Structure 1
Amino acid sequence: MLRYPSLRAPLDILFLVCCIALTADVLAPEIWGSGKTKDYPLWFWAGQQVLHGGDLYPSDPRAYFEFIYPPLPAVLLAIPAYFGKLFLYTCLSVLNAVAWWMTAQFSNAMAGSGQRPGPWLFALPGFATVTFVFDMFDLGQPNLVLLAMMLFAFWLLQHERPWMAGSMFALATAIKVFPVAVFPYLLWRRRWAAAASMTIFTAIFLFALPAPVRGFQHNVSELKTWFQGMVGTSSEQGFGQRGEQNWSWVNQSIIAVTHRLTRPVNYNQDNAAKPSATMNLIDVSFKTANWIVLAISLAIGLGFIAVMPPRARMTPRSDAEELGILFCLMTVASPLARQYYFMWLFFPITVLIHRAAYDPRVAVRAGTWAGLAVAGLLMCLSFPVFPNDLQAYGNNLAAAAVIAGELVWHILHPPPDEVTGSPPPAELQTEQQNQS
Structure 2
Amino acid sequence: MLRYPSLRAPLDVLFLICCIVLSADVLGPEIFGNGKTKDYPLWFWAGQQVLHGGNLYPSDPRAYFEFIYPPLSAVLLAIPSYFGKIPLYTCLSLLNAAAWWIAAQLSNAMTGSGRNPEPWLAALPAIVTVTFVFDMFDLGQPNLVLLAMMMLGFWWLQLGHPWASGSMFALATAIKVFPVAVLPYLVWRRHWASAASMVVFLGIFLFVVPAPVRGFQHNVAELKTWYEGMVGSSSEQGFGQRGEQNWSWINQSIIAVTHRLTRPVNYNQDDPAKAPAYMNLVDLDFKTANLVVIGISIAIGLAFIAVMPPRSRRTPRSDAEELGILFCLMTVASPLARQYYFIWLLFPLTVLLHRAAYDTRPLARRGTWAVLAVAALLVSLSLPFFPNDLQAFGNNLIATAAIAGGLAWHMLNPPPDGKASSLFASSDAPKS
CA distance in 2, matches of 1:251, 1:418: 39
Query: Are 1:123 and 2:123 an aligned pair?
Result: yes
Give per-residue Cα distances to partners, 1:248-303, cap 9 Å, x unaligned.
00000000000000000000000001000000000011011000000000000000
Shift of 1:64: 0.2
Q: Is the 8 A contact 2:314 2:420 kept in 1?
A: no
Matched with 2:427 is none
Give per-residue Cα distances to partners, 1:89-108, cap 9 Å, x unaligned.
00000000000000110000
CA distance in 2, matches of 1:316, 1:48: 46
- Aligned positions of 1:74-153 closer than 5 A: 74-153=74-153
The amino acid of 1:269's aligned partner reads Q
Matched with 1:26 is 26
Matched with 1:227 is 227
Matched with 2:430 is none
Matched with 1:168 is 168
CA distance in 2, matches of 1:158, 1:304: 21
CA distance in 1, matches of 2:111, 2:186: 19
CA distance in 2, matches of 1:2, 1:269: 44
CA distance in 1, matches of 2:420, 2:4: 38
The amino acid of 2:183's aligned partner reads F
CA distance in 2, matches of 1:360, 1:353: 13
Matched with 1:325 is 325
Q: Is the 8 A contact 2:260 2:279 kept in 1?
A: yes
Q: Is the 8 A contact 2:27 2:90 kept in 1?
A: yes
Matched with 1:280 is 280
- Aligned positions of 1:177-256 closer than 5 A: 177-256=177-256
Helix, strand or coil: the match of 2:37? coil
Helix, strand or coil: the match of 1:397? helix
Q: Is the 8 A contact 2:46 2:67 kept in 1?
A: yes
Matched with 1:291 is 291
CA distance in 1, matches of 2:41, 2:153: 30
Query: Are 1:269 and 2:257 an aligned pair?
Result: no
Distance change in 2, residues 1:420/1:134 (3 Å): closer
CA distance in 1, matches of 2:298, 2:419: 30
CA distance in 1, matches of 2:113, 2:257: 34
CA distance in 2, matches of 1:379, 1:103: 20
Helix, strand or coil: the match of 1:418? coil
The amino acid of 2:24's aligned partner reads A
Helix, strand or coil: the match of 2:417? helix
CA distance in 2, matches of 1:173, 1:118: 34
Higher relative contact order (CA 8 A, sep 6+): 2
Shift of 1:420: 9.2
TM-score, length of structure 2 as denominator length? 0.97
Shift of 1:418: 1.9
Shift of 1:2: 1.7
CA distance in 2, matches of 1:150, 1:118: 25
Shift of 1:172: 0.2
CA distance in 1, matches of 2:300, 2:159: 29
The amino acid of 2:378's aligned partner reads L
5+ residue gaps, structure 2: 422-432
Count of equivalent residues: 421
Give per-residue Cα distances to partners, 1:231-260, cap 9 Å, x unaligned.
001000001100000000000000000000
- Aligned positions of 1:351-390 closer than 5 A: 351-390=351-390
Distance change in 2, residues 1:267/1:409 (3 Å): same
The amino acid of 1:385's aligned partner reads F
Matched with 1:46 is 46
CA distance in 1, matches of 2:40, 2:181: 27
CA distance in 1, matches of 2:420, 2:16: 44
Matched with 1:434 is none
Give aligned-pair identity as a percent: 78
Matched with 2:424 is none
The amino acid of 2:207's aligned partner reads F
Q: Is the 8 A contact 2:313 2:420 kept in 1?
A: no
CA distance in 2, matches of 1:304, 1:137: 33
CA distance in 2, matches of 1:117, 1:2: 14
Matched with 1:307 is 307
Matched with 1:395 is 395
The amino acid of 1:56's aligned partner reads L
Give per-residue Cα distances to partners, 1:299-339, cap 9 Å, x unaligned.
00000001000001111100000000000000000000000
Helix, strand or coil: the match of 1:416? coil
Give per-residue Cα distances to partners, 1:23-51, cap 9 Å, x unaligned.
00000000010000000000000000000
CA distance in 2, matches of 1:252, 1:313: 34
CA distance in 2, matches of 1:419, 1:287: 48
The amino acid of 1:94's aligned partner reads L
Shift of 1:419: 6.9
Helix, strand or coil: the match of 2:418? helix
Helix, strand or coil: the match of 1:185? helix
TM-score, length of structure 1 as denominator length? 0.96
The amino acid of 1:17's aligned partner reads I
The amino acid of 2:45's aligned partner reads W
Q: Is the 8 A contact 2:376 2:399 kept in 1?
A: yes
The amino acid of 2:134's aligned partner reads F
CA distance in 1, matches of 2:176, 2:119: 33
Give per-residue Cα distances to partners, 1:399-427, cap 9 Å, x unaligned.
00000000000000000122799xxxxxx
